Amino acid sequence: MSPRSRTTSAANFFSVVCLSTALIVCALLAAFTRPSGPAILRIVGPSMAPTLLGKHAELVCPRCGFDFVVDAEETAVPELVACPNCGRAYLRADEVQTHDGDRVTIDSTPFLRHGVRRFDVVAFNVPEGSGQLAVKRVIGLPGEQVAISHGELFIDGRLLVKNVRQQAELELLVHDAAFRQAPAWHPAQQDSAWKTSDEREPWLFAAARGEDSAHVDWLEFHPAGLNFPGDARPPAPRTLLDNDAYNPALARELNPVFDSTLNLTATVSPESVVAIRGHDGNQAWQLLLERTSRATLLRDGEPVVAASLTNTNNPLRIRFAIIDGRIRITVNHQQLFDESAASPAQRRAASPIPWAIGVRQGAVRIEQLTVTRDVFYLDPSGLARPWVAERPLAAGEYFLLGDNPPVSTDSRHFGSVRRVQLRGVIQKLPTR
């Protein structure tokens, strides 16, 4: 099945979703005046998923065992569901058990300490003055003009770059190799020394002695496509797409995503030479770790910069992020590299294999292998077209967006939100 589909009535429904999306139940607002403390409220709607969940259902893929959540508030959970981890679609056999939205409180003290900050998740009175509250994330500050292009956010014409913590808050899981029969990682050659059991981690590499040390044996990541029951087609390389697993009833055109992160732990022998390659949609970037002590960053095969590891203890905890036009690599919590990558305008419509792990020599064990992606932002109609807010924000105005762009109603639709409408920062409470 093609990853692109025509917009259906479900998409039309979501494109006009009313402001009740992500509204917090407000009946308890009066409790703020009670001495017992802040009211405990519940999230309603899917617009802030997966950061904050409204009414939802928990599903477990019968093929790979991956557990995931889907919206159970705006639409009924469809009988045919696709696992976001292995891509296999299956018919639900059991009745779906639903759960209420996340429990939260509203804390106004951060505004008193440091004002309203970008990326704060805030509660605010909806513009119509109905008395209802909504929850969104602060993106634009007074005096700024917000734009969207190629799925990225721009402030006054400049690409908005998140720090590492902000990246982690917004990243969406694409694949977790710990689950069985979720074959997204494949050796690039038939006689590869890469081995695994039950098509899940750990991946083990043990090259024979005397093998050509100039040859790199690659293990490649092929993003899962949508496979329906009875479809036995072999896996093929695919581009990462902005598939939205939380909204399975929504049919829309999917878009290539180039902002993603590879996380893994590698246990390596002293003589090992390990390479990790990522693609930004225009260029291939490669981290070369030589005998665990020297690291080199290469662009299209040419060295860019080198660094020495201060902590070479096994296992090596590696994070390789290509996000917001930056290449950021950490090993054992040491930031090795932070370099400029391709701008959104330089990216192609599709990219080669997005991630690969290679070994030139030595013994290597790969575990905790995950791929995540960044949020892909859309225009007010839910399309990947360039869009610019009609004017810069005035004094005391803020631009707010939901974390689930395909279904969120936010400042793309109703415009700016005034400071007087902001009630405070959302604090999520533990599930009970």
Tell me the torsion sign for CA atoms 354, 182, 372, 154: positive
What pLDDT, in 10s, does the model give residues 22-44?
Answer: 444 333 333 333 334 578 999 99
Are the CB atoms for 68 and 85 separated by under 8 Å? yes
Give the per-residue pLDDT at 239: 81
Give the per-residue pLDDT at 37: 57
What pLDDT, in 10s, does the model give residues 166-217?
Answer: 999 999 999 999 887 677 899 998 899 999 876 667 899 986 544 556 789 9
Q: Between 94 and 296, whose confidence is greater?
A: 296
Q: What does DSSP say about strands 284-290 and 172-176: parallel, antiparallel, or unpaired?
A: unpaired
Cis before 202 (ω within 30) = yes
Report the C-alpha gap between 22 and 43 in whole angstroms: 6
What pLDDT, in 10s, does the model give residues 342-375?
Answer: 777 777 656 678 999 999 989 999 999 999 999 9
Give the per-residue pLDDT at 122: 98
Query: Taking residues 120-141, what's their average pLDDT?
Result: 90
Report the C-alpha gap between 78 and 377 in whole angstroms: 25
Give the per-residue pLDDT at 350: 62
CB neighbour list of residue 70: distance below 8 Å, 6 or more residues apart? 56, 57, 59, 77, 81, 245, 246, 247, 248
Tell me the pLDDT of the chain averaged across its residues.
84
In this structure, of 65-69, 199-203, 330-334, the range with the lowest mean pLDDT score is 199-203
What confidence tier does 281 reach under pLDDT thresholds 50, 70, 90? confident
Tell me the torsion sign for CA atoms 202, 203, 208, 209: negative
C-alpha closest to that of 132 among 42, 22, 18, 23? 23
Query: Taking residues 319-337, what's their average pLDDT?
Result: 96
pTM of the model: 0.86
Q: How many CA atoms lie within 13 A of 160 on its CB side?
A: 25
Q: In this prediction, what percent of the chain has a pLDDT beyond 90?
A: 60
**Domains (ranges, CATH) in the chain?**
9-163+379-428 (2.10.109.10), 185-221+258-373 (2.60.120.560)
Both tokens of 150, joined, read 């190629």
Q: Which three-class secondary structure string do you get for the chain? A: CCCCCCCCHHHHHHHCCCCCCCEECCCCHHHHHCCCCCCCEEECCCCCCCCCCCCEEEEECCCCCCEEEEECCCCCCCCEEECCCCCEEEECCCCCCEECCCEEEEECHHHHHHCCCCCCEEEEECCCCCCCEEEEEEEECCCCCEEEECCEEEECCEECCCCHHHHHHHCEEEEECCCCCCCCEEECCCCCCEEEECCEEEEEEECCCCCCCCCCEEEEECCCCCECCCCCCCCCCCCCECCCCCCCCCCCCCCECCCEEEEEEEEECCCCEEEEEEECCCCEEEEEEECCCEEEEEECCEEEEEEECCCCCCCEEEEEEEECCEEEEEECCEEEEEEECCCHHHCCCCCCCCEEEEEEECEEEEEEEEEEECCCCCCCCCCCCCEECCCCCCCCEEEEECCCCCCCCCHHHHCCEEHHHEEEEEEECCCC
Burial of 29 (0-12, 13-18, 19+ CB in 10 A): middle
Report the C-alpha gap between 176 and 173 in whole angstroms: 8
